[in-house]
Amino acid sequence: MNILRIAAAFLLLLTMGCAAISEQAKMEEYGRTMDSYETAMRLSDFNAACQYVDPSEMGRKDCLKRYENLKIVSYDVLGVNVAEDKQEVTQTIEVEYYFLDRYVVKKIQYEQSWRYKEALEKWMLQTAPPFFE
């Protein structure tokens, strides 16, 4: 009887440990994804940035169209909120930008929502890029 209890406790701890490792791995992947995405945005590499947008939210062609004629001056994450299950992250973003034909710097703040896609084992942006005016 005691052996069964010890084995059950061990399996429970092992399961909890695996879940913690899984969550940690997701958050490490989130960090790598954010580094890549933020670098793409700061360099105005919209071809790279659009690959992170979930195709069910916005197609690549439409994503690229949002960034047409645009240059990013600064891209800053003002706040981050991680869901308890570590499956979704919401960020408040501030971007300074200008249109290549106007040279007037503007600023916009908006919310981004990222979700971990288990089937793909990667983070995808669930919100389309904002409209830049």
Is 93 within the bounds of a domain?
A: yes
Say yes or no to pLDDT of 2 above 80: no
More confident residue, 25 or 7: 25
Is 119 within the bounds of a domain?
A: yes
More confident residue, 27 or 22: 27
- How does the average pLDDT of the chain come out, rounded? 88
| Residue ranges making up the domain that contains 31 | 2-125
Say yes or no to pLDDT of 36 above 70: yes
In 3D space, the residue among 66, 84, 107, 102 whose CA is nearest the CA of residue 23 turns out to be 84
Which residues fall within 8 angstroms of residue 69, CB to CB, at 6 or more apart? Answer: 99, 100, 101
Say yes or no to pLDDT of 10 above 90: no
Say yes or no to pLDDT of 95 above 70: yes
Radius of gyration of the chain (CA): 20
Number of domains forming the structure of the chain: 1
Provide the β-strand partners of residue 114.
89, 125
Is 130 within the bounds of a domain?
A: no
The predicted model scores a pTM of: 0.80
Is 38 within the bounds of a domain?
A: yes
Domain of residue 28, CATH code: 3.10.450.50
Which residues fall within 8 angstroms of residue 47, CB to CB, at 6 or more apart? Answer: 64
